[in-house]
Every structure is written in structure tokens, then in C-alpha cells.
Amino acid sequence: MNLQEKINYERIAAAIDYLKQHYKAQPTLDEIAEKIHLSPFHFQKLFTEWAGTSPKKFLQYISVEYAKDILRNREASLVDVANEIGLSGTGRLHDLFIQIEGMTPAEYKHGGKNLSINYSFVQSPFGNIIVASTPKGICHLAFFEEELNAFNVLKSQFPNAEFRKRTDQIQQNALSIFSHDFSKLSEVKLHLKGTEFQLKVWQALLKIPLGQLSTYGSIAKSIENPNASRAVGTAIGSNPIAFLIPCHRVIQSTGLIGGYMWGNTRKQQY
């Protein structure tokens, strides 16, 4: 690391520390940039290069994680949660959860209560699939051997949701990939929920070009965390949407296939 890189690293580390300490004040881009003596434009560019996400998105992740902690562990109203993390009202809290978690704060708090999920069992060239969707997008796709166990895994992720065994257009658009019809890919939406780190890893997987491979180390570098190969592997192992989020395209740096939650034979077939 040369001198300029060291200076840039220290600036971004200081910015991240400032965001973690002052996120309740919801500081603006200008305010954060001023703290590390950079122009807003230069700071935005530098932060995105080093942190792998924009300052605004990083602040949103921090705010949502704190809100989730409150909802999990305390009896607090949504108004209280919004106030505690520095948002102007429940409307902003709602929008933030939809954007980051793919569900409302109330749905998160109640394990998917009032969330309607369609699911169906489908045969693919690689085996039987369970696919599930909400109005926001695909929330679950997995290979299975036994239908009841597959449904129980889905239900454990959204324990209080309403489930309907039904195929919808959202599922059909997603499943078209198995017939090598990529015309509907732009219409495929994903309803993801996970930690900040998991979401960053899954987003990195989505950027792997069709038909190409990557390594755990390369994914770690792409999210600006080059020493996190093991953690990347754990996040990949938690991928809730098989095939569409292409964890099967990640191999070990030695060229070995590596593990796959739905079986190494299936991974090799892809």
C-alpha cells in the first residue's frame, strides 16, 4: 500500500467510524465529507471504491440493522423505532425496510405475518425445485428430495406468513432460465432478507457474467473485504435462492469445485 492509498484508507475508516457513531443523526453526504476534509463528490467516489457501496447505502444498512435489533428484542412501536434511529417518521422506516429487507418493519417483527407467499413444486433439468414468491419477487428457490421437508424449510424462514400452493407469473419468469430462455431475466425480482454482509455477497454473485466462474477470494475482494474468504463461503452457503443467485459459479482458488448445499454433482452439472 503506497502513501496515497494509506491516506485514502484512513479517511474511509474515519468516515465509517463516524457513520457508526452518528447514524442516529442521519448525517448528509456533505456533513460526512466535511469531517474527513474532502469534497462531497470526491468522498462519494472514494467511499464507494473502498467500501463497495455508497455512503448513503452504508448508512441505510446500519440504520436497518439497529432497527432490526430493536424489533427483535424490545417491545417498541414503529414510531419509537423510527425516532430512535433518527428517521422523520414510520413512512421512511417502511421504505427503508422494503428497500433493504424486502419486507415491511411489521412483517419483519412478526416473522412474515400478513405476508402472502405463493409456492409451487417444479421439475427442472437438475432436479425437483420448490420456488416461492411474494408480490415483491422470488423469496425462495431450492432443490429438494421430499416435498414436505422442502415446504417446512420455506415455512421456517417466514413462520407466520400465509402460504398458498400456486404458480404465478413471478415464478414463471424466474423459472424460464432453466429452459435457456433469458428474455424474462430483466423482469425477475428478488425478495431478499439477510445481514448486510450476506446481501453484499449475494449482490456480488449476481454480477458474475453468465457462463463464467469466480472464486471465494475474488468475491471477497469485490466487496472490498479481501481477508473474508471464509465468511464469504458462509454467506454463499446461506443463499436462499438457488441458481438465480449463482453460488454454483464460485469455486476454490485451487480450481476445486468446493462445497455446494444442493450437492457437488449438481454444481458440476451447472
Residue 6 burial (C-beta neighbours within 10 Å; 0-12, 13-18, 19+): exposed
Is the backbone of residue 263 left (phi > 0), alpha (psi -120 to 50) or beta?
A: left
Q: Is the dihedral of CA 251, 256, 259, 263 positive or negative?
A: positive
Query: To which residue does cell 423482469 refer?
Result: 187
Number of separate helices (H) and strands (E) present in the chain? 13, 6
Catalytic, 247? Answer: yes
How many C-beta atoms surround the C-beta of residue 111 within 10 A?
13
| Helix segments in 74-138, DSSP class H | 78-84, 90-101, 105-109
What CA–CA distances, in Å, run from 229 to 51, 67, 202, 264?
A: 16, 28, 14, 19
Question: 161, 199, 247, 250: which is the annotated catalytic residue?
Answer: 247
Active-site residue set: 247
